[in-house]
Amino acid sequence: MLSLFLAVAALAPAPVRADAFAQGNAEFALDIYGRVAAEKKGNVFCSPYSISSALAMTYAGAAGETARQMVRALRLPEPGAAAHEAFGRLTRAFNAEGKEGRIGLVVANALWGQRGFAFKKEFLDLTSSRYGAGLHELDFQADPDSARKTINAWVEKATRGKIKGLVPVGLLERRTRLVLTNAVFFKGRWAAAFQKGQTKSEPFFLGDGGKVDVPLMHQTGDFSYTDGPDLQGLELPYQGGSLSLVILLPGKPDGLGALEKGLSEAALRGWLGRLAPAQVAVVLPRFKAESQFQLGDSLQALGMRDAFSQSDADFSGMDGRKDLYIGAAIHKAFVEVNEEGTQAAAATAVVMSRMLAVRHRFVDFRADHPFLFLIRDRATGTILFIGRLTDPAAAS
């Protein structure tokens, strides 16, 4: 749960903005978290903002019902240019915040296209102007694994070495035409740091009734706090004040499932709205976590079905034809929380593949016995040559 709300904090600086775009982005964040969390046991960490950014770039090339499904799944309040402008403003704002130096925050986007493939100029101009995503040409047809290594090296550099091997071996192939990537790196120091001398090895109680000894950090200070019958909420700001870590703590060790079940954008907005200044004795684990997901099933469950279908996908905005579909969407995220602050990184890749030729009925044809053959003119039906073969060895 802790990692979820770091991702939400990175999505929209506290307090949560009331405008429709921010609300839709938060709704998608909780939608995708609910899906990926249901797939895994134990720690889960992801960056909904990274996922939505990569998919928004992909949406820039979608059309028809494919585009309409993406608008609904991504919870975009306005389709088309308005959505891309909103993502562009968010990307620029985050990068400007990082450049001020109070926190480390970098958002990077890139397109990796098949060398010589005719992408539409309008698509390339839009992804460049709104997302800062330049086109890098690679040769997936000749050497898909070399292309994979190039993309992974870019991701690793953009995330300061925190996300390695985003694209696994074998995912890219000769039908790959485009990979859209987003990378996010965050490093923030607490506005009020924990003192390392106060960190102690103490029990952490598990949801199944067990317990483990882990380093627990301690400090007492003035923070924004709320509580209810089964919940405590705490906000820990980073230096600069624009970003914070929000923690929602169930009243009992086995209460996380009920909290997640009741999680929604409206509930989150309500909890955050009740935060108020208080003096709080904080105890927080020092930890690292890393998660990786294949997002295809989750995104289709959210209604983005046609985009993954070879027969129904319409990404004609990319190349003017209906011959591309999403072959894979992958995401990887890392977080480390310690006495000084937080480091987090995430990357998302959307892989566009070219559709297979239309398949006809499959039959076996084994010319392993005598046969008749002919050569004819197809236009007129004229038979130019005719013959039979009864013994290939004798004809040699």
pLDDT score of 363: 45
pLDDT digits (tens, 9 = 90+) for 186-234: 888 989 999 999 998 888 888 888 888 888 888 989 889 888 888 888 8
Residue 380 lies in a domain: no
Question: Same structural domain for residues 278 and 294?
Answer: no
Band of residue 6 on the pLDDT scale cut at 50, 70, 90: very low
More reliable by pLDDT, 3 or 127: 127
pLDDT score of 368: 58
Question: Same structural domain for residues 275 and 293?
Answer: no
Band of residue 304 on the pLDDT scale cut at 50, 70, 90: very high
Residue 327 lies in a domain: yes
pLDDT at residue 387 is higher than 80:
no
pLDDT at residue 348 is higher than 90:
yes
Question: Same structural domain for residues 315 and 262?
Answer: no
Question: Same structural domain for residues 232 and 131?
Answer: no
Question: Same structural domain for residues 61 and 159?
Answer: yes
Give the structural domain span for 203: 196-285
| CATH number assigned to the domain comprising residue 272 | 2.30.39.10
pLDDT score of 328: 95
pLDDT digits (tens, 9 = 90+) for 238-264: 888 888 888 888 888 888 888 888 888
Band of residue 390 on the pLDDT scale cut at 50, 70, 90: low
The whole-number average pLDDT for the span 61-74 is 97
Share of residues in the chain with pLDDT > 90 (%): 46
Q: Which one of 57-66, 89-98, 329-338, 359-368 scores highest in mean pLDDT?
A: 57-66
pLDDT score of 243: 84
Through-space distance between the first and last CA atoms of the chain, rounded to whole angstroms: 75
pLDDT at residue 100 is higher than 90:
no
More reliable by pLDDT, 286 or 162: 162
pLDDT digits (tens, 9 = 90+) for 265-292: 898 889 888 989 888 888 888 888 888 9
Picking from 232, 255, 285, the residue at the C-terminal end of a domain is 285
Question: Same structural domain for residues 106 and 176?
Answer: yes
pLDDT score of 374: 44
Share of residues in the chain with pLDDT > 70 (%): 85
Q: How many domains does the chain have?
A: 2
pLDDT score of 356: 59
Question: Same structural domain for residues 48 and 169?
Answer: yes
pTM for this predicted structure: 0.86
Strands 211-228 and 231-237, by their bridges, are: antiparallel
pLDDT digits (tens, 9 = 90+) for 350-378: 999 987 544 444 444 454 566 444 444 44
Q: What is the 3-state secondary structure (H, E, C) of the chain?
A: CHHHHHHHHHHCCCCCCCCHHHHHHHHHHHHHHHHHHHHCCCCCCCCHHHHHHHHHHHHCCCCHHHHHHHHHHCCCCCCCHHHHHHHHHHHHHHHHHHHCCCCEEEEEEEEEEECCCCCCHHHHHHHHHHHCCEEEEECCCCCHHHHHHHHHHHHHHHCCCCCCCCCCCCCCCCCEEEEEEEEEEEEEEECCCCCHHHCEEEEEECCCCCEEEEEEEEEEEEEEEEEECCEEEEEEEECCCCCEEEEEEECCCCCHHHHHHCCCHHHHHHHHHCCEEEEEEEEEECEEEEEEEECHHHHHHCCCCHHHCCCCCCCHHHHCCCCEEEEEEEEEEEEEECCCEEEEEEEEEEEEEECCCCCCCCCCCCCCCCEEEEEECCCCCCEEEEEEECCCCCCC
Question: Same structural domain for residues 205 and 340?
Answer: no
More reliable by pLDDT, 336 or 62: 62
Residue 77 lies in a domain: yes
pLDDT at residue 380 is higher than 60:
no
Lowest average pLDDT, out of 101-105, 163-167, 174-178, 305-309, goes to 101-105
| CATH number assigned to the domain comprising residue 8 | 3.30.497.10
Residue 162 lies in a domain: yes
Q: From residue 159, how far is each of 220, 236, 308 by CA, in Å? A: 32, 23, 28
Residue 368 lies in a domain: no
* Average pLDDT across the chain, whole number: 84
Question: Same structural domain for residues 162 and 304?
Answer: yes
Question: Same structural domain for residues 317 and 236?
Answer: no
